[in-house]
Amino acid sequence: MTERVVIIGSGPAGWSAAIYAARANLNPLVIEGAITEDNRIRGTLPLGQLSMTTEVENYPGFPAGDLSPYLKSSLPEQNVPYRDPHMTGVTGPELMELMRQQARNFGTRIITDDVVSVDLSKKPFDLSLLQGEKISTHSLIIATGARANYLGLPSEDRYKNRGVSACAVCDGALPRFRNKPLVVIGGGDSAMEEASYLSKFASTVYLVHRRGEFRASKIMAQRVLDNPKIKVKWFSGVDEVLGDENRGVTGVRLRNLQDSTSEVIEATGMFCAIGHTPNTDFLAGQVQTDDKGYIVYSLPFRTNTSVDGVFAAGDVADSYYRQAITSAGTGCMAALDAERWLGSHGFH
Ligand code: NAP
């Protein structure tokens, strides 16, 4: 059997594409990713990066607070939503489960596995899954997102999830980080955001940056510089994450990149905020990407890629906005583009 449309990825882009494709009677198949230790360590488990966050306060439609008086007074009775109006805001994991369920409600089929390789050189396209299954499809939507970068030190790997993290919002409130010194690496907006966020829990946040100026926006950088709990270590890099089996991370050994002097900082956590890498390895260069591996759209305001019949949505093609709402938006666009492409090629 040849599928009409397969969607790879299960973040906001993947599920939005599935909802639109299912409602267009395309009977979509979503390959949502495998639940493996490798994916856990790399941060590429099903449901994507949002499933690793807490409250999502900027996704439209989920305001926090008790909305019942407002909804009762402002809407005709038949329009008051079925959703519990007392439900307050939404968390990332909740939002992703709701999107997944919404896609299932319209008949989306789901396989919990990874796509390990593709052959896009012939039509229909072939996909090979981790557990050996082969799938053939006329059109493809790639919505595999991006993952956080780490420094790549062996000592860093040893302490992942035992003090080393790339997500302050996911892990920052854990007891091991409370009232203890912490280290954040990076000089971009993410590093500023993580350092400011962690300063609410930590005794001191050491912000380690390899240059003498931040790349971050002025306002976010200034907030960090004005925060008495954040100390910036300019021109510095981490040589080694220190720790032991029982306690996990206990500190980092820093190197001053100007004079090569070394310094040990005690800390119970190290947070990497040094950018993201798009999950495009499995494409093995068959779809055009930029120098960082992000898929390049071949037409303005369309989700077409360099391969006819292959569309992309979400962070895998966006190093700039990287928001749940923009991912969902491009997911919808990709489904509409795939539907029109299928129609124009006679695959109804
Ligand atoms: P980014 O802007 O690419 O910054 C990455 C930072 O990590 C840079 O300071 C870089 O140093 C440093 N870095 C990279 N590789 C490193 C390595 N191997 N060792 C040490 N340091 C390393 O990434 P980002 O901060 O994740 O931001 C990505 C995009 O999202 C940006 O457009 C940003 O504006 C946006 N964003 C916006 C917000 C917001 O407005 N609320 C929040 C987060 C992100 P160099 O500076 O020396 O290159």
pLDDT tens, 234-272? 999 999 999 999 999 999 999 999 999 999 999 999 999
CA distance 135 to 177: 45
What architecture is the 154-272 domain classified under in CATH? 3-Layer(bba) Sandwich (3.50)
pLDDT at 288 over 70: yes
Residue 298 vs residue 57, higher pLDDT: 298
* Non-local CB neighbours of 291 within 8 Å, separated by 6+ positions: none
Please state, in angstroms and rounded to a whole number, the distance separating the CA atoms of residues 322 and 315.
Answer: 5
* Nearby residues of 33 by Cβ (< 8 Å), 6 or more positions away: 9, 10, 39, 44, 45, 46, 112, 113, 114
Tokens of residue 165, six digits: 């993290």
* Residue 85 predicted with pLDDT over 70: no
Distance 192 CA to ligand 1 centre (A): 9
Which two structure tokens, joined as six digits, stand for 62? 């989920």
- Please state the rounded mean pLDDT for residues 149-173: 88
Confidence of residue 157 (pLDDT cuts 50, 70, 90): confident
Inform me whether the pLDDT recorded for 83 exceeds 90. no
Mean pLDDT over all residues of the chain?
93
CATH 3.30.420.40 fits 2-148+276-344, yes or no: no
For the four alpha carbons of 296, 302, 308 and 313, in that order, the dihedral sign comes to: positive
Q: Measured in angstroms, how far is the CA atom of residue 53 from the centroid of ligand 1?
A: 19
Best mutation site among 206, 210, 236 for ligand 1 pocket (most ligand atoms within 8 Å of CB): 210
Q: How far is CA 254 from the centre of its chain?
A: 28
Query: What is the per-residue pLDDT for 75?
Result: 77
The alpha carbon of 273 and the centre of ligand 1 are apart by a number of angstroms equal to: 7
**What is the pLDDT at residue 65?**
76
4-48 pLDDT, tens digit each: 999 999 999 999 999 999 999 999 999 999 999 889 878 899 999
Q: Give the residue whose CA is nearest to atom 29 of ligand 1.
A: 320
Is the pLDDT reported for residue 82 higher than 80?
A: no
Beta bridge mates, 22: none
Q: Is 322 exposed, middle or buried (0-12, 13-18, 19+ CB in 10 A)?
A: middle
86 falls in which pLDDT band (50, 70, 90)? low
Q: Tell me, what's the pLDDT at 89?
A: 82
Render pLDDT for 90-113 as a digit per residue (tens, 0 to 9): 888 999 999 999 999 999 999 999
To the nearest whole percent, how much of the chain has pLDDT over 70?
Answer: 98
Using pLDDT thresholds of 50, 70 and 90, give the confidence band for residue 191.
very high
Q: Where in the chain is the domain with CATH 3.50.50.60?
A: 2-148+276-344, 154-272
Q: What is the 3-state secondary structure (H, E, C) of the chain?
A: CEEEEEEECCCHHHHHHHHHHHHCCCCCEEECCCCCHHHHHHCCCCCCHHHHCCECCCCCCCCCCCCHHHHHHHCCHHHCCCCCCCCCCCEHHHHHHHHHHHHHHCCCEEECCCEEEEECCCCCEEEEECCCCEEEEEEEEECCCEEECCCCCHHHHHCECCCEECCHHHHCCCHHHCCCCEEEECCCHHHHHHHHHHCCCCCCEEEECCCCCCCCCHHHHHHHHCCCCEEEECCEEEEEEEEECCCEEEEEEEEECCCCCEEEEECCEEEECCCEEECCHHHCCCCCECCCCCECCCCCCCCECCCCCEEECHHHHCCCCCCHHHHHHHHHHHHHHHHHHHHHCCCC
Of 256, 278, 253, 276, the residue nearest 266 (C-alpha): 253
When computed from its CA atoms, the radius of gyration of the chain, rounded to whole angstroms, is 22
The closest residue, in CA terms, to atom 41 on ligand 1 is 189
Choice from 190, 207, 315 to test ligand 1 binding pocket (greatest atom count within 8 A of CB): 190
Ligand 1 centroid from CA 276, angstroms: 8
CA distance 283 to 110: 21
User: What integer pLDDT is reported at residue 338 of this predicted model?
Assistant: 98
Evaluate if residue 348 carries a pLDDT over 90.
Answer: no
pLDDT at 77: 77
Beta carbons within 8 Å of 216's beta carbon, 6+ residues apart: 187, 188, 189, 191, 192, 224
Q: Which residues are catalytic?
A: 167, 170-171
